[in-house]
Amino acid sequence: MSYNFTATEDYILSQKNVITLVNFAKNQDTLNRQDNRNLFLKLSVVFLVTRFQVYVENVLKEFDYKLKQSRKLNKEIPLHYRLNSIKIETEKKQLHKLLEDPTKYTNNKLNEIYQIITVINDLCNGENCIHADCKFDTKFPLGATGLNELKKLFKQIDGNDIFANVKFDIEKLNEILRRRHDIIHEDKNQQITEVTVIQYKKFITTVVKHIDRYLNKFLN
């Protein structure tokens, strides 16, 4: 099966490592080495979730690149995306801060302000080609990688909940994320089994495929 983003293909290929860890766990179970079995099961969950979080950031970066390469006009991309980009631009530059000190009012300062305003004006003009400075956050906030943070990343594009109309229960993702958190921070197994890990793998793969399709529709 082909996917729309290289990041998706890379993620799907990486899942063979989950299968390998599950098979190691099964082997240790047959040898009645339960400590080793639990170790492999915990490693498989940590790998699965970490790889998913890396996927999200990678696919958003790739989407950003592809969108700019598409040479679409501003009016052809979501208005929410453009306004969110202006929000990020103005938060980063903070024009009022740049103008706080009157003793630094020079031609260089005027040019600096002009460049910022030019970018904003380009983003507002629907007939302009998508600007190189059009941007959105592609990384999870530091220390926050939950479902709400995931939704917020994608809401930057068109303001909608990416999982609003899906046929799967996205809340299950929180369960999987909590498992990883408990393993890393409290070293808990919580009776994870080989079957549980495979179910988690299938679920996250479903989420990944949905993300791949969702992002691609903005490129067409």
Q: Is residue 125 pLDDT above 70, yes or no?
A: yes
- Please give the C-alpha separations between residue 65 and each of 71, 74, 88, 166, 190, in angstroms, as whole numbers: 11, 15, 18, 26, 41
Q: What is the mean pLDDT of residues 155-164?
A: 96
Q: What is the mean pLDDT of residues 211-215?
A: 97
Q: Locate tokens 């220390």: which residue?
A: 143
Query: In this predicted model, what pLDDT tens digit does every residue of 163-182 receive, in sequence order?
Result: 999 999 999 999 999 888 88
**Are the C-beta atoms of residues 12 and 205 closer than 8 Å to each other?**
yes
Q: Is residue 7 pLDDT above 80, yes or no?
A: yes
Contacts 24+ apart (CB under 8 A), 211-217: 211/8, 211/56, 211/59, 211/154, 211/162, 212/3, 212/4, 212/5, 212/8, 212/59, 213/4, 214/154, 214/162, 215/4, 215/5, 215/59, 215/60, 215/63, 215/157, 216/4, 216/5
Q: Is residue 188 pLDDT above 70, yes or no?
A: no
Comparing 11-15, 155-159, 191-195, the range with the smallest average pLDDT is 191-195
Q: What is the mean pLDDT of residues 175-199?
A: 85
Query: In this predicted model, what pLDDT tens digit does every residue of 22-56 receive, in sequence order?
Result: 999 999 999 999 999 999 999 999 999 999 999 99
pTM comes to 0.90
Query: In this predicted model, what pLDDT tens digit does every residue of 53-104 receive, in sequence order?
Result: 999 999 999 999 999 999 999 999 999 999 999 999 888 888 888 999 999 9
